């Protein structure tokens, strides 16, 4: 069938229009290709010529400077120092063994380091630089640079390495860095290419670990041209990385160093809290270790020595260790009972030296008993029977609620390793965890901080801070990040009856300042700085009826690891509290004898901002304190000599 002329004309017009569109598109593509060819052949000719000639362009990652860590006064407690090292790129080296043999003729390198480096090169990509040796002298670097043509793939570099000027004094708080290991790579979900650089340092413990992403920064890049033998001819491009952020902690490094020195010879932990903002002025655990040992990789000998020490120097006892709080828990029991109204502050309980509960006898520390005793006297003289009775009235659940309100049984959010939650037991806990019903004897034990109750020195210091202020004081370790103030730990009101809190504080005051108080020998003599506190002794073994029958064996007659723990919590000044603290001495015996004197000395150091005058101490101990101050002051570093990012 013949098509009409009109249709033929319309079809021809459509074909012409499509041809124009296709032609225009083809012309655009050809034009774009032409422009790109011109750009590559003329404008970028030098760059592509270099890339084409034997792959002579290398791109290297530039590790950023790690952020510094300062104390509250701006003193560096984790700094950086220059470190000369030699690295090898296996891809450029050719015969690795031959090149390393030539290198060892120029520089003295530990054979163990060579073996480790060769193993590292087999695990890494051939273009990744592997550190052969570090902490070289300038003369070593000069010899390597002069002989570079004979050392393909070898390059001397200068970088930064971590250093801790205050050594062991800040070890458990700041922690330490170390080279990235295969274990680190397997357990962290971090795609940062910096972690692929052999011996790149990351935080392994403490604040260094918990603030890793804040301190690390971002990598830069360096584009270099090398000749046929691997010699660097020139640097083509450099983009500097972004340095890590600086962090200022709340620690007072001089107070921290004093506390660490005062705990010397003990296995102990101590915490000092600023009541104005929750700042942790000191967090000390003894014994400690030198974190600088870990920066370059600790030796087997040092590692074994630290691990086999029965005093556990690697353990951060101040935040990680948990202990039965003993009589320091009595304020919790008292506040729970007084707030619940099951007893008044003036009501008395008779203490004959023991309390019978369904045929089981619970003893007071004073075998002859305290007689009729009220709240004030029960805390001042640390009567156990008073709390046995009070606890049965109020019950464990309300005691547990009060304990948590005061900061016990809570894992406080701090950038530290292994912060413990402790244990504040109640009926539900025992049913879920142990599959058993709660018994009245459990409540009686808990009333004096024994049984299942566990607390860390950090938690005990928080408890003392909250009793002293009536506020929900929260511990704070980071003060500033790159100059930006972090949230305060001041806290809101706990909602407790202020009159009841005053009665408890007055009782704690008499613990230290009344002749019959259990810590009277560790009192502060200056009226404006009077300290209020509470002693505690927690058993680590059960005293059997047979032992009681023949006379309980004293702590001094037992092996160290079977002796009681000594505890003390306090705040000062009593009239206007500024600091709260806790001290726990593992297997130290009685809290009044072992922990209270340490706490007094630390509190005075915090209040005076340095060595206090001798007239702040009881006359009987002034000669001893004078000798102690001389010894400790000689040990405290005057400041930091470490450099920053230079």
Catalytic residue numbers read 327
Q: In whole angstroms, how far apart are CA 21 and each of 32, 191, 201, 459, 600?
A: 17, 47, 60, 78, 92
User: What is the Cα 643 distance to its own chain's centre?
Assistant: 23
Instruction: Give the start-end residues of each E strand in 63-175.
Output: 69-70, 76-88, 130-134, 154-163
Q: In whole angstroms, how far apart are CA 594 and each of 311, 485, 554?
A: 16, 38, 15
Structural tokens at position 330: 């009595």
Nearest one of 484, 343, 465 to 408, comparing CA atoms? 465
Burial 393-412 (b: 16+ CB within 10 A, else e): ebbbebbbbbbebbbbbbeb
**Contact call for residues 570 and 602 (beta carbons, < 8 A):** no
Q: Which residue has the tokens 């104005």?
A: 276
Neighbour-count burial of 111, counting CB atoms closer than 10 A to its CB (0-12 exposed, 13-18 middle, 19+ buried):
exposed
Pairing of strands 360-363, 232-239: unpaired
Instruction: Give one DSSP letter per residue of 128-151, joined into a string.
Output: S-EEEEES--HHHHHHHHHTGGGS
Cα–Cα distance for residue pair 617/615, rounded to 1 Å: 5
**Contact call for residues 392 and 449 (beta carbons, < 8 A):** no
Residues 6+ apart with CB under 8 A from 269: 263, 284, 285, 286, 316, 317, 318, 319, 321, 456, 457, 583, 584
For 469, list phi and psi in degrees, rounded to 5: -110, -25
Instruction: Give one DSSP letter per residue of 349-416, joined into a string.
Output: EEESSEEEETTEEEE-SSTT--EEE-HHHHHHTT-HHHHHHHHHHH-HHHHHHHHHHTTTT-----SS
Identify the DSSP state of 566: E
Instruction: Give one DSSP letter per residue of 44-62, joined into a string.
Output: THHHHHHHHTTT-EEEEEE
Q: Count CB neighbours of 357 within 10 A.
A: 16
Cα–Cα distance for residue pair 518/521, rounded to 1 Å: 8
Instruction: List the Cα angle 355/357/362 in 5-degree steps.
Output: 45
Instruction: Assign 3-class secondary structure to 519-563.
Output: CHHHCCCCHHHCCEEEEEEECCCCCCHHHHHCCCCCHHHCCHHHC
Identify any residues that bridge with 84 across adjacent strands, giving them in sequence order: 158
Q: In whole angstroms, how far apart are CA 327 and each of 330, 450, 483?
A: 5, 8, 42
Structural tokens at position 144: 């390597």
For 247, list phi and psi in degrees, rounded to 5: -125, 130
Structural tokens at position 411: 């894992």
Neighbour-count burial of 543, counting CB atoms closer than 10 A to its CB (0-12 exposed, 13-18 middle, 19+ buried):
exposed
Cα–Cα distance for residue pair 588/236, rounded to 1 Å: 65
């Amino acid at each position: 069938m013949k098509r009409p002329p009109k249709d033929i004309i319309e079809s021809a017009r459509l074909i012409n229009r499509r041809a124009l569109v296709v032609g225009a598109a083809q012309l655009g593509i050809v034009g774009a290709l032409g422009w790109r060819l011109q750009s590559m052949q003329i404008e970028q000719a030098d760059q592509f010529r270099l890339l084409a000639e034997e792959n002579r362009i290398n791109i290297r990652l530039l590790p950023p400077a790690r952020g510094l860590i300062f104390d509250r006064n701006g003193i560096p407690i984790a700094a950086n120092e220059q470190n000369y090292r030699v690295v090898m790129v296996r891809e450029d080296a050719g015969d690795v063994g031959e090149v390393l043999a030539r290198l060892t003729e120029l520089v003295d390198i530990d054979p163990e380091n060579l073996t480790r480096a060769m193993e590292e090169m087999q695990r890494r990509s051939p273009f990744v630089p592997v550190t052969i040796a570090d902490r070289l002298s300038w003369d070593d670097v000069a010899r390597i640079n002069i002989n570079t043509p004979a050392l393909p793939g070898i390059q001397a570099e200068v970088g930064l390495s971590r250093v801790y000027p205050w050594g062991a004094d800040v070890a458990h708080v700041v922690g330490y860095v170390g080279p990235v290991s295969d274990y680190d790579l397997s357990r962290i979900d971090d795609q940062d290419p910096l972690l692929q650089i052999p011996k790149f340092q990351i935080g392994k413990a403490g604040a260094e670990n918990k603030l890793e992403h804040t301190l690390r920064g971002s990598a830069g890049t360096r584009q270099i041209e090398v000749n046929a033998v691997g010699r660097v001819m020139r640097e083509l491009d450099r983009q500097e990385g972004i340095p890590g952020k600086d962090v200022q902690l709340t620690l007072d490094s001089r107070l921290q160093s004093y506390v660490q020195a005062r705990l010397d010879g003990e296995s102990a932990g101590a915490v000092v809290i600023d009541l104005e903002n929750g700042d942790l002025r000191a967090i000390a655990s003894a014994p400690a270790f030198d974190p600088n040992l870990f920066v370059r990789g600790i030796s087997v000998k040092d590692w074994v020595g630290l691990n086999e020490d029965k005093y556990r120097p690697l353990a951060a006892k101040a935040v990680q260790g948990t202990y039965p709080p003993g009589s320091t828990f009595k304020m919790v029991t008292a506040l729970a009972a007084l707030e619940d109204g099951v007893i008044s502050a003036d009501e008395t309980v008779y203490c004959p030296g023991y309390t019978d509960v369904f045929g089981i006898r619970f003893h007071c520390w004073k075998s002859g008993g305290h007689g009729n005793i009220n709240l004030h006297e029960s805390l001042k003289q640390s009567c156990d029977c008073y709390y046995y009775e009070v606890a049965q009235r109020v019950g464990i659940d309300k005691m547990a609620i009060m304990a948590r309100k005061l900061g016990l049984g809570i894992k406080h959010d701090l950038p530290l390793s292994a912060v413990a939650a402790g244990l504040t037991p109640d009926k539900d806990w025992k049913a879920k965890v142990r599959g058993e019903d709660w018994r009245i004897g459990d409540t009686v034990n808990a009333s004096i901080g024994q049984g299942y109750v566990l607390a860390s020195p950090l938690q005990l210091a928080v408890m003392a801070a909250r009793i002293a202020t009536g506020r929900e004081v929260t511990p704070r370790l980071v003060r500033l990040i790159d100059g930006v103030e972090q949230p305060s730990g001041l806290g809101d009101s706990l909602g407790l009856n202020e009159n009841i809190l005053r009665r408890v504080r007055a009782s704690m005051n008499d613990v230290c300042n009344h002749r019959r108080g259990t810590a009277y020998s560790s009192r502060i003599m200056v009226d404006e700085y009077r300290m209020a506190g509470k002693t505690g002794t927690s058993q680590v073994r059960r005293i059997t009826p047979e032992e009681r029958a023949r006379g309980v064996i004293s702590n001094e007659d037992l092996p160290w690891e079977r002796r009681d723990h000594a505890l003390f919590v306090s705040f000062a000044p009593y009239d206007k509290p500024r600091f709260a603290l806790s001290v726990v001495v593992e297997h130290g015996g009685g809290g009044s004898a072992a922990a209270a004197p340490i706490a007094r000395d630390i509190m005075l150091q915090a209040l005076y901002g340095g060595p206090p005058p001798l007239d702040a101490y009881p006359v009987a101990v002034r000669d001893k304190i004078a000798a102690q101050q001389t010894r400790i002051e000689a040990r405290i570093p005057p400041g930091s000599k470490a450099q920053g990012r230079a």
